[in-house]
Structure formats: structure tokens, C-alpha cells
Chain A
């Protein structure tokens, strides 16, 4: 059954973005526009996957979307607190979690989150409560006084995502969050992403993966990054698939998803 939905307002606008490092252009003419998805009876954010072969500029695009790298041309806009007044992304406005789930090695999980909350502008008086609330919700209360080196992979994943949520708000970019994880951890991360995705209307998760079936299962929009032509080795968006419009978003995995995954793989292999 196709779920009904409507869209309203832009939550992410990537406009003609190019990045050149030294003399080498890594990505160019990247355009993406995402709208706030509204579903009756659901607090539903957006889940966007970026797929493509290695070396097509996914990580560069992610660093640009998170403001960690300035685009050489173009701009990236996200909504501000004021309605109809978008802002350009800067360092910290969009949360970023790398595939190693990096944390500060010298801070306990609790102190990592406290620091993130402070940087996120949460008033001092509310920080402890907010952090403890998240720790309980994500099942990390027993690990709160542990340092990252004493945490399991799953605990580190949760802590890294939580710290970004506390500091950056609704936007979260994850660079290959499923890379190198065992089956159990993959399921944990999927649950975490769904939890974040359904926590607020504006929650927007952008992730990259080489597992196309996983992208089709989780995302409601998929962008394929590749080379526009073999002679010009610069990454750009070569295809996009709107799973909402196709009636595949928020549905159990089916034969239609498998067919779509095949189409996406074809688009990847051709670029």
C-alpha cells in the first residue's frame, strides 16, 4: 500500500556546488533539493542516501554539506529558526558522523555529550537533564562514565550520533555508517537512524553507503554520484530516485525494492 504524504518547504538546497582542491576539481554542478515530508499521524523526517563508486566525491560532498569544507562555487542552504529565511551552512550547523564514529579520546561518554550540548547552545541548567534523558533513551546510561576506548563499537556509534544531535539539531550527515559493521551492529545503526528520523518533522539524515539494498530499504530519496563521462573524472549527481513518489518509502522490503536496487546499481556502474 502506497503511503500518502505531502511536502512543504525546502529543508535542504544544494545549488551548483563544486569543490576544487588545488588544481583538481573533485565534484561539480551538484544540485539537490529536499522538501519537508509530512505524513498524517507520523512525525517523519527525511532520509537521504548518497551512493556511488569510490572516488566519486561522496566524502567531499558530505564535508561541504556539513560546512567543514567551503564550496568553490555554489551554496548550500538549510532552514533557520525563522520561517522562510534559510541560512548557508557553516561548521557545526549540520552534524557529521564519520565511519569511525570518532569521539574525543580523553572524555567520558557523559562529558562528550555535555560538551556537545553546551556547544549546541542548550542552557547550562538543562544540560544534565537533556544528556541523561538521551543516555537513558539510547541505552547508554551504564556506559556514561566510560571512555571511548572502553566502549563497544555499538556504544561508540550511539555516543557519536547523540553528540551530533545535541550540538547540531535536526541535520545529521553520516559518511558510510554501515562500513565494516557486523550484522548485529548494522541492525543497531538502522534502528538508531529510524529513531532519529522519527523524532522530529525536520529531522534530516543524509548517509552514504555501498550497500544499495540497505539504501533502498532505509532512504526515501537516493542520489547517485558518479562521473558524468569517462573522459571527465569529476563527481556529479548522475541520477536520483524518489522512493516516496515511487511508493516504496516506509514500506517493508519487497520485490519492487529489489528491482529499484538493480536500476541503481546499473546507474552506478555506468558512471
Chain B
């Protein structure tokens, strides 16, 4: 009884096995609800059976190459976004570039449709894939720069003073306090931004369907209102997203000076 009371007590911390049991309980509850709620004639979600069937069909029709196509798109976008955003954020410490970089950060309020339209008509974009990458890079970069600016602004003054008191030049201060000293934060921001990009995947891949990808699978299934296949593709996107999130989180904690569960 006491342990049941703990479950509904604010800020109560449970033991690890209890937490695991709780996760298992909710998983079973959600799947059970899903199964029961799709037994009638009319239902919001496709039934588990139709999703499994849809998944099998998608696998037969080349799900794996589509996954790799999406991962490749995401990888390319991340690479270019990092190449653009990191130097921009570090350059923000130079008064000359600060107004420009703060301006770039404001571009996150620009609608996706406008950017897509512009890129589609741009003579510099040679292929559909390049346009997809371009859209994602723009989106990822503006959020990445915004988050990095916030990380830099939150660095305690004491860290800069410590570096300066050791006779470091301003460039050395930048290197030690911001670049090397906050590389794990940059990975964490990447993790958060990758979630945005991964979420936008369907939209971007449906702009140019010839390039393939998980978005294309959803778009094709949507044409025939095959909800089982749509749901199956979405589950795949969700699971891969969670895996990427986990991998980046592990990468961050692989730095020996980062404590798990705290931003030291």
C-alpha cells in the first residue's frame, strides 16, 4: 500500500526495478489499449495486425534502402549544418559578427514553405536531393546557432576570468572555454536539433519523392489511404529517432569530464 502511495506522491523517487516495472506496465497498457480500441468497426488508429502487415509489405518493397536514404539525408544535412553553425556561433564572440549572427538566429521564424519555394526556384540547386539537404541545413542551422548562442551566454564569467588570469590570449580563451570546454554541450544541442530534423523528414522527403526515403513511403501509402502502412513507417521513424537520440546522448557522456544526469 505504501509503495502504491509513492506512485502518486510528487517528487517521489522509485527504485530502479520499480521504475522498470512501471515502464513495462505502461507499455503493456498502451499496446493493450491500442489492440482493444481497434477491435470495433470504427477506430482512430489502424489495428496492430494491419500495422504489422503494413510493415511486412514495406520491408518486401525495400524499407531498408529507404531507411538508409533517410539516414543519408539526415547525415548530409547534419554535416553541412555543423559546418555552418559551429563557426558562426564561435564567431559571435567577435563584436564585428555579433549582429549578423544574432540576425541569422532570428531566421527561425521564417516559414518552411517560403524557404522551400525559394530553393526550388534557385539556379544554384541542381537536384532534388540538394534541395532537401538545403532545406534541412537552413532549418537545423538557425536552431543550432540559436542554441549555441544561448550556451555561450550561459558560461559563467569566472571561466573567462580564470583563462585570462592564466595569461591566455583572447583566442586561447575562446578555444579553451568555448570550443573545447563546451564541445559536449554542442553534441547535446545536435541531439536536440536532430530530433527537429528527423521530425521534418516526411515533409522534406515528400517534396521530391524520386530521392526515396521514409517520407516517400508514407506519402505513397497516404495516396491509397493505407493507414497500416503509414503507421508502420511512422513507428520505424520514431524508433530510429530514439536510437539516434540514444547514440548522441552516449557520445556526450563518453567525454570523461561529463557527469551523467548533470550539466557540470
Using a CB–CB cutoff of 8 Å, the interface residues on chain A facing chain B are 63, 66, 68, 91-92, 94-96, 98, 100, 102-106, 115-116, 119-120, 147-149, 160, 163-164, 167-168
Contact = CB atoms under 8 A, between A and B. Distances in A.
Contacts of A119: 166-168
B256 interface: yes
A166 to B, nearest CB: 9
Nearest to B255: A106
Interface string B143-181: 000000000000010110111111110000000110011
Nearest first, the 6 closest Cβ-Cβ pairs linking A and B are: A92-B167, A147-B257, A96-B165, A102-B162, A102-B158, A149-B264
Contact of B161 (A68, A103, A163, A168): A68
Contacts of B163: 104
B165 A105 contact: no
B186 to A, nearest CB: 12
B166 A106 contact: no
Contacts of B164: 68, 91-92
Contacts, number: 67
Contact of B165 (A95, A104, A115, A148): A95
Contact of B158 (A91, A92, A98, A120): A98
B165 A91 contact: yes
B162 A98 contact: yes
B257 A148 contact: yes
Given A148-B257, A149-B259, A116 B156 contact: no
Nearest to A120: B167
Interface residues of B, number: 22
Contacts of B259: 149
Contact of A168 (B156, B158, B165, B258): B165
B32 to A, nearest CB: 43
Contact of A116 (B158, B166, B256, B257): B166
Q: Which of B159, B161, B163, B180: most chain A Cβ within 10 A?
A: B161
Contacts of B255: 106
B161 A106 contact: no
B183 interface: yes
B159 A102 contact: yes
B161 A96 contact: yes
Given A106-B181, A106-B183, 14 more contacts: A66-B165, A68-B161, A68-B165, A100-B158, A102-B161, A104-B176, A104-B177, A104-B181, A106-B176, A106-B180, A119-B166, A147-B256, A147-B257, A149-B259
A163 B166 contact: yes
Nearest to A117: B166
Contacts of A63: 161
Nearest to B262: A149
Contact of B264 (A66, A68, A105, A115): A105
A102 B167 contact: no
Contacts of A105: 181, 257, 264
A106 B185 CA distance: 12
A145 to B, nearest CB: 10
